[in-house]
Structure 1
């Protein structure tokens, strides 16, 4: 098995050798991670050991911790131990114990990894179980392709994926390796254990070669995934345009893209949007100007003939173009209504509230830009002949920091014509010679 391990390593991770990389092994003390440790040591790699004590099995958890410490001494390697109150963490976040343990485990690994590659002992049987769980939960082609052998962005390696559990047990016996047994592995209350003890054995009775067939299918799907990724990358490259930190996509091109649902899902996934939001994103293609969909990190904004993906943290960069034909646009959970120019002689009364603005239509040329204010902005406040920075204007109004964050402006040719909800620019006010009036109202 050592020879097969080394051959697989060179074929799968050719850029990582004992001479140029350090490894951090995730070791529970079970047979999988013990075999992994032995193979890595025999292959001459420089490594450290990390062990998580989730404190879920009382004395057994303490036994596992002591075993891994002794294993480190046996190989002369540093052992890092971290204890977690997993039950309390899961309860506070309303997660399952398995989900909590995974989150705690990888979060800690990331803090101690330094320049090492994290190595876990996932094997072929784990891959079969994972693929089936993804299938029943609902997944795309990437979920059906199983566990990845390498994740560059996470500096994560899984070199035991070609090997079956039985092979690891036989290797441990031949090499006379001691390991510990996790009693929770026999409990079917955990999803993976149910698949391992109930579902897969039942399938095996009907299809004796089912597991080998699933592994072959996973390999086929991994190859298909490469073609899929190449096609997605090519098509998205024709759709998206980058402007600084924003992604712009023409609405018409997006609507004509095929297959629409798949391309939309793959386009939005890197920005925190879920598969469940795909249909909502497609509906947004026909929504009104300024409509948006939000993920934890980004917003997808309908902006005239464009869709814009922008970071939530950079919300001030968001902007909406207003054409002369627009009658209303949505922004920041508000609506801006634009009335067609009206003749001044129609006895129009000047608005008494800050939510409305009447401007000289002859001085306004479209398109206009609706955006959040930014540092350096200035305008000529109504009644003043000198310009004033918005930052100073807000100080005079004694606006709080949060109030200032909510301020939007209406701009024309890089001139602010209205600080929405506060004051219009004096240069665009109604005067005696005004004939037509343009009305704006926010609600």
Structure 2
């Protein structure tokens, strides 16, 4: 009943712990019935609030009318007012997005700036029960996981929705009962927007069969939110059991994933954060039964079958640079760390065997040197071998996975590879009994 709206409003805020009554709340007010009623409720409840209004300049005189109406509302309620105007059309062209996306991005960015600058604890929007039901229904039609069925949440970080408990009809009736004026947005009438189509066409038809459809779906949404808590607790346990990280590579044990029930759901929760789409999920699951080397590439990552593991690595966005070393006294930073160069006399010191150290016969090395990633067709003469060997074959023999291969760099002198960095030097530049000076190179981790 509309006469109980204020009491239910205060009770809902307390029950959901949306904010402390002593805190200041910034209200996003468009001038429509929902946000205007919300402003009146905040005033009547005695909460400290400010009003923020965005003019998107999309409806000519109507946009100006809305702005002036909100100005008068703030004056009537004696509430601080913050307003702004956006060139929304220019934003859509500059960022190549739709009007709806542009308005949402501009609105929330500005509202958050005002909230922080003026010292408000939270931003309140006037989403109500129908808005939440429409959101869940649209998500269900588009295809969604359980998270898409919880509707609009009462609280997300600094954004609160204190009217989610209220039916739209109750808000309209409350405005009529208390003679609260508001303005109508003409864009809400057209069905060209998806939400309006659901609001004006789909839900009313459902209510013809089930008059309490909105309330019933809202009750289901409440239960879905609680079910999601249990769901996420289970997902967290599976994630801890199945997903491991080493450096910038994530690893999933194939056998454990194969034996997981329910496989599809758990796999989706593990992989969706790595750019995996619903369509690609089946391709990834096929990797569980494929040979090593097969992979699926998402928009952001590569998922590779490597023996007993699925390896997940970021997709390289650009070609690695080539570094030129002009003298034997340089230090070079690159993706894998740093190379430190120095030239010294041969002396009596034992030749180091550590993989991260390379001692070369300085007389057989010509500057400048080139540091680059290896590529197909590269070859060298591995230390101790009289015949040349393709780098690709050498890496296979080292049992490197595809992600590990992609991190391999080579050092080149006079178009000859003299070091597979951190792995093996070339036999042609090794130190011999006739060596007088040494080019010593040390691979160190990046600071």
TM-score by length of 1: 0.70
User: What aligned pairs does 1:130-141 form with structure 2 within 5 A after superposition?
Assistant: 130-141=135-146
Task: Find the residue that maps to 2:220 and give its secondary structure.
Answer: helix
User: What aligned pairs does 1:31-180 form with structure 2 within 5 A after superposition?
Assistant: 31-91=33-93, 93-114=95-116, 116-152=121-157, 155-180=158-183
User: What aligned pairs does 1:325-404 form with structure 2 within 5 A after superposition?
Assistant: 350=388, 356=391, 370-372=405-407
Any conservation in 2 of the 1:29–1:67 contact (CA below 8 Å)?
Answer: yes
Query: Of residues 245, 255, 259 in structure 1, which corresponds to 2:258?
Result: 255
Distance change in 2, residues 1:273/1:356 (3 Å): closer
Larger Rg: 2
Alignment partners' CA distance in 1, 2:298 and 2:147: 24
* Post-superposition offset of 1:11: 0.9
The root-mean-square deviation of aligned C-alpha atoms, in Å, is 4.0
Aligned to 1:323: none
* Post-superposition offset of 1:294: 3.5
Alignment partners' CA distance in 2, 1:273 and 1:113: 35
Unaligned residue ranges in structure 2 (runs of 5+): 321-334, 338-372, 433-447
Alignment partners' CA distance in 2, 1:274 and 1:49: 40
Alignment partners' CA distance in 2, 1:175 and 1:271: 52
Alignment partners' CA distance in 1, 2:233 and 2:279: 24
TM-score by length of 2: 0.69
Aligned to 1:181: 184
User: What aligned pairs does 1:256-335 form with structure 2 within 5 A after superposition?
Assistant: 256-285=259-288, 286=290, 288-289=292-293, 291=295, 293-296=297-300, 298-310=301-313, 316=335
Unaligned residue ranges in structure 1 (runs of 5+): 319-331, 384-396, 398-406, 430-443
Alignment partners' CA distance in 1, 2:313 and 2:160: 32
Task: Find the residue that maps to 2:164 and give its secondary structure.
Answer: coil
Alignment partners' CA distance in 1, 2:90 and 2:133: 31
Alignment partners' CA distance in 2, 1:428 and 1:273: 50
**Segment of structure 1 superposing worse, 219-228 or 38-47:** 38-47
